[in-house]
Amino acid sequence: MSITVVVGAQWGDEGKGKITDILAEEADLVVRYQGGNNAGHTVVVGEEEFKLHLIPSGILHPDCTCMMADGTLIDPQVLAEEIQQLQERGHGCENLRVSCNAHVIMPYHRLLDELAEEARGSKSIGTTRRGIGPAYTDKTARMPRAVRFGDLADAGRLRGLIADQLAQKNVIIQELYEHSPLDPEEVFEEVWTVAQTVSKYTTDTHKIIQDAARAGKQIIFEGAQGTFLDLDYGTYPFVTSSHPVAGGACLGTGVGPTAIDEVTLVCKAYTTRVGAGILPTEAADEAAQQLRDRGAEYGTTTGRPRRCGWLDGVVLRSAALINGATSVALTKLDVLDTLPIIPVCVGYEIEGVLVDTVPAWADDLGKVRPVYEEMPGWQQALGQVRQWSELPPAARAYVEKVEALAAVPVSMISVGASRQQTIFID
């Protein structure tokens, strides 16, 4: 048996989609364990580019079963669109399964996310406005009649749940946000139209996962977002409402921690963040724009420009520890090709004291002064490199610095978007 968790080391957008797609070649099962369509995973196959928000990146491998497990959130409209787009491009979704227990993002969750962000004004989190926070809030508040994926198959049940939910939600929508109420029948019609298409994918995913694990199958748990967007370990409150960290894979899929064999920590060669919150190694405008342009750093889900900065070794080290990483997949190394000097943050100074892990109290992150080491750039294109031995010495030194900071070996280096542009290290 082999279970690997693929998890982001930073604030999401590390390139997990490509790494999952590569690992999925050998996998029987690829399972998303948290989050919803706030995620955006880009996978490039030949000349084709696929942007996936909900469906696991393994869907492009016909022999691989793909799942949205219990810990995920499903917006049925987005799921229906994604299935249709894949089918139109020749990728049937017969091998897709969705947990009956996954909670559903309803139109009122999207509206409440929007209204809450507007109301926060200058203190907004910068959410993707996809309804993630409000839907997980219903789940953790144990709303007795919250809609789960298994509810989508039964029109009468769904209509009743929506009516009950809106009896409450409309009070908040009207009284707190002074917005016009939602009509339960209209909401029902909107959801029921797509529910009929997607509910056939419903199943008990955790039974299938446990059976597959016992049968010795290769399983990938695909994380969305990243370690520092985790509800507990991220830069609270500027986080998402789920658990992207490797431990979240156990909660979200229904397997115990001892079943996990490998944790592949996906780390971008520099740092990006979308939305508000501290980013200690954020680069000055011109350098940030250079990284943004070369790395095409615009959100897959919202199109927002990502904030860009240098590799943060403190973040990397903390992520390796929090996730129990067994290897690092270093992505987008080629984006740094043109730089003569590459700053790498090797520690933080907080009020004169040097620290090497991310402070537990997120407010303290606002006080840190990154300590940089300047690495020489390689100033040549890496896109065609396929072997470790072909990498220029300066690029190898950069990878070795990543290994030293993470205290975990680098097993893969990505030097471009396509599957082929990958260097594997034994």
Name the closest residue to ligand IMP (Cβ): 275
Least distance in angstroms from the C-beta of 175 to ligand IMP: 23
Site string for ligand IMP, 235-254 (x = CB under 6 A): ---x-xx-------------
**Contact between 271 and ligand IMP (CB under 6 A)?**
no
Binding segment (CB under 6 A) for ligand IMP, from list 6-14, 146-154, 317-325, 375-383: 6-14
Considering the complex, state which of residue 16 and residue 206 has its C-beta at the smaller distance from ligand IMP: 16
**Contact between 10 and ligand IMP (CB under 6 A)?**
no
Residues between 295 and 334 that touch ligand IMP (CB under 6 A):
none
Helix 76-88 and helix 184-198, axial crossing angle in degrees, nearest 10 = 40
Q: Which of the residues 41, 53, 91, 109 is marked catalytic?
A: 41
Least distance in angstroms from the C-beta of 386 to ligand IMP: 29
Q: Which of 217, 245, 257, 179 is nearest to 27 (CA)?
A: 217
Single residue of 130, 169, 307, 332 touching ligand IMP by CB under 6 A: 130
Single residue of 76, 107, 133, 134 touching ligand IMP by CB under 6 A: 133
Least distance in angstroms from the C-beta of 18 to ligand IMP: 14
Residues between 273 and 292 that touch ligand IMP (CB under 6 A):
274-275
Considering the complex, state which of residue 57 and residue 225 has its C-beta at the smaller distance from ligand IMP: 225
Least distance in angstroms from the C-beta of 277 to ligand IMP: 6
As a three-state string, the secondary structure of the chain is CEEEEEEECCCCCCCHHHHHHHHHCCCCEEEECCECCCCCEEEEECCEEEEECCCCHHHHCCCCEEEECCCEEECHHHHHHHHHHHHHCCCCCCCEEEECCCEECCHHHHHHHHHHHHHHHHHCCCCCCCCHHHHHHHHHCCCCCCCEHHHHHCHHHHHHHHHHHHHHHHHHHHHHCCCCCCCHHHHHHHHHHHHHHHHHHEECHHHHHHHHHHCCCEEEEECCCCHHHCCCCCCCCCCCCCCCCHHHHHHHHCCCHHHCCEEEEEEECCEEECCCCCCCCECCHHHHHHHHHHHCCECCCCCCECEEECEEHHHHHHHHHHHCCCEEEEECHHHHCCCCEEEEEEEEEECCEEECCCCCCHHHHCCCEEEEEEEECCCCCCCCCCCHHHCCHHHHHHHHHHHHHHCCCEEEEECCCECCCEEECC
Single residue of 127, 281, 318, 421 touching ligand IMP by CB under 6 A: 127
Least distance in angstroms from the C-beta of 117 to ligand IMP: 9
**Could you give the CA distance from residue 12 to residue 133 in angstroms, rounded to a whole number?**
17
Single residue of 44, 80, 100, 125 touching ligand IMP by CB under 6 A: 125
Q: In the annotation, is 13 catalytic?
A: yes
Residues between 144 and 203 that touch ligand IMP (CB under 6 A):
none
Does residue 22 contact residue 422 with C-beta atoms inside 8 Å? yes
Q: How many residues bind ligand IMP (CB under 6 A)?
A: 21
Least distance in angstroms from the C-beta of 241 to ligand IMP: 6
Considering the complex, state which of residue 188 and residue 221 has its C-beta at the smaller distance from ligand IMP: 221
Site string for ligand IMP, 207-236 (x = CB under 6 A): -----------------xx---x-------
As a three-state string, the secondary structure of 109-139 is HHHHHHHHHHHHHHHCCCCCCCCHHHHHHHH
**Contact between 78 and ligand IMP (CB under 6 A)?**
no
Considering the complex, state which of residue 224 and residue 375 has its C-beta at the smaller distance from ligand IMP: 224
Considering the complex, state which of residue 38 and residue 95 has its C-beta at the smaller distance from ligand IMP: 38
Considering the complex, state which of residue 253 and residue 271 has its C-beta at the smaller distance from ligand IMP: 271
Single residue of 40, 76, 134, 347 touching ligand IMP by CB under 6 A: 40
Backbone angles phi, psi at 227, to 5 degrees: -55, -40
Positions marked catalytic:
13, 41
Interface contacts to ligand IMP, rule CB under 6 A: 11-13, 38-40, 125-128, 130, 132-133, 224-225, 229, 238, 240-241, 274-275
